[in-house]
Amino acid sequence: MSSTTSSVRSANRTRSLCHHLHQPLLISGSSPSSSGSPPVGGSMDEGSSASTSSSATARALDMFNRRGSVLAVVIAGNTAADVLPPSAGVPSTSAVSSTSGVISADQPSSTNSDNDMELFNEWKPPYPRLTAYQDCLSVAAGWGLGAHPNGLDDKPTGASQAQSPSEDDSGDGKCNELLASCPAFRNELGWEPTRRLALSRHTFDMAHTDAHECETWMREHSASEAGILEDVSNVYLGGRLCAARQPKTVIEPQDIGSYYYRHCFISKNHIEYLGMDDILGPISVSMVREIVDRKESYSIYRMIIRISDQKTIRVAIPEEALSTPEGTDRATRPLMRELLEIVCPKISFGTLRPSIQSPRVEELIMKIDEQPIYTRYKVGIMLCKNGQSTEEQMYNNEESTPSFDEFLDFLGQKVTLKGFEQYKGGLDTRGDTTGTHSIYSEYQAHEIMFHVSTLLPFTPSNRQQLSRKRHIGNDMVTIVFQEPGALPFSPITVRSHFQHVFIIVRVHNECSENVTYSVAVSRSKDVPPFGPPVPKGACFSKCAEFHDWLLTKIINAENAVHRSKKFATMAARTRREALRDLVENYVGPHQNEGASKIASRFLGGSVKRKERHNPKPTNHVLRGALTWLVDVHDYSTNQRVSCVLGVAQDWIVLLERPSGTVLFSTPTHSIIGWANSDTGLKLYYDHGDQLLLRCYSETCTDSELNELIRRLENVTKGDEAKEVVLRRLKTTDNWGFHVQDEGVVTDVDMYQLAWKAGIRQGSRIVEMDSMPISTLSFDKICDQLAVSECVRLLMISPSSDGSPRRGCEDPNCPAVKGIEQMLTPDAFAKQPITYHEMFRQKKLEYPTNSASSSPASSFDERTFSFNANKKSTEQRANNISNNRPNVLSSASVHDNMCTLLNPPKCLNRAQSDEQLRSPLMDELNRKAPLSARESTNERESSELVRIQTHLERTVQEKRALEMLAQQLRKQLIQERQAHDNTKREMERLKKLHEKK
């Protein structure tokens, strides 16, 4: 037998996706977009020379202000299109050559176009490893991802778009008994697949789909709820279970990072700079210095950059990266200039001035930042009776029905409008002109007012029912309640520019105990997909689960409408005008203004400016997200997708280019390891799911990849995987180890084949013969090991205490077998002792000073020769079993209970030393020798089962007693409070009596 152990990460096997970026020749002090070369492919005409001249003058004055040289007028001369990306609303005047990297012929090409690559390279951050982004939207804004608002067009939107003669989209062709296919709309009927980037059991057998068919796909719930990457509010945001065990009915976050200014700037001494750029428009920059560690004198600078129509960039930069040494006083303007050069050099610092010191400035900035946050929603509900399907028929249903009333009572609370003090949703609460009652609901700090068609005023003489339509027709989300026999609904029957999403609910077995509801969703093609997804063939019962699902779907629907082109453009216009008002009315005087200073600069010559330095790398771990440009293999479509990878201290996310959509998100505690192979960097998380990515490199070196691996080592508990090759002479020989269904090694034969190769108890197998363990069932793993004479394993070593590295803290997680059961972190915390804790207790009870007392914690610790004498090995094992002291009385009761609840299987081979030293095995060894463990009699087995059953019952009784004790404590606290209140009331009455 022979075994070889090699590291997967080797110099000759590392591969990076090399991008040779062809940058124009830079003039000292100018940006890449400020080169004076004429457009490629032709000369400027007279019409464009005027705009070029004005733009050149503005840029020359800006450069003169920064450098103090008349030469700035000579070297300026680019158009606005050379500075701003084409999607920002400035038309391109030249056919600029593509700056995208060249991918070698043997590599899969990205699906992005050259224009998207040009836009991307224009806004690429210069120092992505020094800029720690606070949230996903900041990552997208910093890398130039996402749609840029470029004005509204005259085309109809919403339901009216389906009737437009200019609409050439025929719909997706999906329909059922609830919903018909409609032009310009996308239907969700329940069999939409979920887009998963990682290789797992979900994607291994999935039929590959073309990229253009992914329009109606749903994202994973973990990616949909991704938002904050650096938590600054100190709020616990989730448990340490795998993604399959997390709640899937989640409200997709809006721009939660909008509270960044409130949490990190308001209560501290911060600086505001305002300015009006000729190209970018109004700009606002906030900066504050924060001391992270006083002992190490470690500080960071937090910044918020607001650029007109662009999204807000929220970042943190380490102080040690700046040119001036730490601890020294820095002037405000040079400091702000240097920070902007690191984060966003596209901003011309010469246009910025400090704001005036006024509380009104903070108030306006906070209002601008928190504009995208919505917590109040108004939703329309229409009744569709038997044989009905059109908008006019539903509006003319004067009276409600018992099934409709049952649904309304289930959906929310019926309230009287007169005197109602909560969210009104545009209804009259004084004169009853919009009806006397309505349906109102509160869900997770969100308020929803429903505009019910049968509760709004009915006008017999008006067939269009304008008094009803003026409310429901202006709602973005509309619920269509169908009774049995109703015809399939189509949005083409509705005339409205605001109704973008229709949720169709059909009742079955109405007004009975077996009432159920089926659901379908139709959304405008401009509205992005939203969750929670409609389950396949789902028929909801009237329960709390369906209530939460439906309200979550409503809230996510309206939030998705706000992200559509029409409403995003309207919000951007409001934001631009608010920033313009802030810049025009609250900017302070420029420090360089004044005739004397300008004259002195002309007469005294040009002012020499400091050369721009390269920021220094930091040795501290930034909490925000550092970013890399990567190619990710999408196993759902079997294609490579260009993404921006963000690695924060708590989260890892992938944003698609150029849309900026979050395709993948996982907490860093779920990372169990990684491996650098010929195909790219494999990242293993949760139960061994594999994410395959490759880093782009501008220098054709492994520097980007090495920085990524160092970042993973700092923020995760994972380790680099190592390759182990095991060979045996015959298939009947034992490999010498036991493995669980998720690849965790539970037992290892001492001094045998696996032991000598470096496999230890607690090691984790992530690949077997190039097949990921996450795609194999336990039977397939056993069959593969049984028939192979040579097996190649990719192993992740145990953690320092000998326990296996786990992405999910539950060692018996049902998601390993494909059963996705939701268990909240609070419920999981009440479960019995975990596998990790068992390893930790054994580590404390059994010392590991000698070389033969416990398995090594790493593969490189001890590697035994394959020429070892088999007799000496067996003799050593027998000596261990005969000379072991009796530790049963000294073992903890808790550890004995856990050992009995999970009894080890009798093995027909030598067991690992940790198993041999357990208290339970000491008891069994006194009854039978090591060679006779396989023949344990039935009486001992039945006794063990009886003890296990008794212990399980005891544990259940203990939990019940703990819950009862907790309830009694609450009752005692309430009684004490009532007693204190009574005592205070008696004292108050006594004082009143004494005064009388």
Instruction: Give the CATH number of the domain where residue 739 resides.
Output: 2.30.42.10
- pLDDT score, position 122: 64
Question: Which pLDDT band, with edges at 50, 70 and 90, does 408 fall under?
Answer: very high
Q: Does the N-terminal peptide bond of residue 334 adopt cis geometry, omega within 30 degrees of 0? A: no
**447-461, 631-645, 928-942: which has the minimum mean pLDDT?**
928-942
Tokens of residue 137, six digits:
């939207």
Q: What is the mean pLDDT of residues 321-345?
A: 78
Question: Over the stretch 686-740, which tens digit does the pLDDT of each residue have?
Answer: 888 999 999 988 777 888 999 999 999 999 999 999 999 999 888 888 888 999 8
Of 524, 531, 532, 520, the C-alpha closest to 567 is 524
The gap between the terminal CA atoms of the chain, to the nearest Å, is: 103
Flag whether 741 is in a domain: yes
Measured CA distances, 359 to 17, 257, 274, 356, 684 (Å) = 50, 22, 15, 9, 49
284-317 residues labelled b (16+ CB within 10 A) or e (exposed): bbbbbeeeeeeeeebbbbbbbbbbbbbbbbbbbb
- Report pLDDT for 471: 93
Of the candidates 277, 283, 272, 301, the residue with the CA atom closest to the CA atom of residue 360: 272
**Which of the four pLDDT bands, split at 50, 70 and 90, describes residue 326?**
low
Q: Is the model's pTM score more than 0.95? A: no
pLDDT at 8 over 80: no
With pLDDT > 90 as the criterion, what percentage of the chain qualifies?
31
In the chain, % of residues over pLDDT 70:
69
Q: What is the mean pLDDT of residues 106-116?
A: 43
User: Average pLDDT, stretch 469-476?
Assistant: 93
Pairing of strands 639-647, 651-656: antiparallel
Residue 158, by phi and psi: left (phi above 0), alpha (psi -120 to 50) or beta?
Answer: left
Grade residue 798 by pLDDT with cuts at 50, 70 and 90.
Answer: very high
Cα distance between residue 878 and residue 58, in whole Å: 89
- The band of 626, judged by pLDDT with boundaries at 50, 70 and 90, is very high
Confidence of residue 253 (pLDDT cuts 50, 70, 90): confident
Is residue 131 a contact partner of residue 342, using CB atoms and an 8 Å limit?
yes
Q: Pick from 783, 779, 628: which is nearest to 693 by CA?
A: 628
Which tokens is 533 given? 């997804």
Which of the listed ranges 49-58, 154-163, 701-710, 923-932 does the model predict with the highest average pLDDT?
701-710
CB 900 within 8 A of CB 920: yes
Per-residue buried b or exposed e for 158-185, using 16+ beta carbons within 10 Å of the residue's own CB: bbbbbbeeebeeebbebbbebbbbbbbb
157 phi and psi, to 5 degrees?
-125, 175
Q: What's the rounded Cα separation, in Å, for the pair 243 and 239? A: 10
Q: Residue 329: is its pLDDT beyond 80?
A: no
Which residue would you say has higher pLDDT here, 451 or 241? 451
| Res 330: pLDDT | 64
Is there a domain that residue 317 lies in?
no
Helices (H), 399-542: 402-411, 466-472
Q: Give the confidence band of 995 by pLDDT, cuts at 50, 70, 90.
A: confident
Mean pLDDT of 123-151: 84
E strands, 103-223, are: 132-133, 185-188, 194-195, 218-219
Q: What is the pLDDT of residue 257?
A: 82
Identify the pLDDT of residue 941: 64
User: Does residue 734 form part of some domain?
Assistant: yes
Residue 996 located in a structural domain: no
pLDDT at 556: 94
> Look-up: residue for tokens 């976050």?
253
- Identify the pLDDT of residue 603: 46
Dig out the tokens for 80 from the structure.
Answer: 């606005």
Does 641 have pLDDT greater than 70? yes
Structure confidence at residue 588 (pLDDT): 81
- Residue 755 belongs to a domain: yes
Whether 369 is covered by a domain: the verdict is: no
- The answer to whether residue 799 sits within a structural domain is yes
Rounded Cα distance between 85 and 119, Å, is 5
pLDDT value for 880: 36
pLDDT confidence band for 64 (50 / 70 / 90): very low
In three-state secondary structure terms, 522 is strand
What are the start-end ranges of the E strands in 510-614?
516-524, 540-541
- Residue 725 in contact with residue 794, Cβ under 8 Å? no
Q: Confidence class of residue 537 from pLDDT cuts 50, 70 and 90? A: confident
Please, what is the Cα angle at 198 between 193 and 203, to 5 degrees? Answer: 45
Question: Has residue 912 got a pLDDT over 80?
Answer: no
Cβ contact 843:802 at 8 Å: yes
* Amino acid sitting at position 914: E
pLDDT at 303 over 80: yes
Dihedral sign (CA 696, 339, 711, 816): negative
Tokens 């940058």 appear where?
A: 23
Which tokens is 600 given? Answer: 């002195």
Q: State mean pLDDT over 909-922.
A: 41
Higher pLDDT, 729 or 828: 729
Does residue 370 carry a pLDDT above 80? yes
Taking all residues of the chain, what is their mean pLDDT, rounded to a whole number? 74
Looking at residue 154, what is its pLDDT? 59
Would you say residue 846 has pLDDT above 70? no
Indicate whether 777 belongs to any domain: yes
Question: So what's the pLDDT on residue 153?
Answer: 58
Q: What is the C-alpha separation between 126 and 140, in angstroms, rounded?
A: 15
Task: Provide the edge-to-edge strand list for the sheet that holds 771-772.
Answer: 3-7, 722-727, 790-796, 764-768, 771-772
- Count the domains in the chain: 1
pLDDT at residue 148 is higher than 70 = no
Q: Where in the sequence is the domain holding 801, given as residue range(s)? A: 719-807
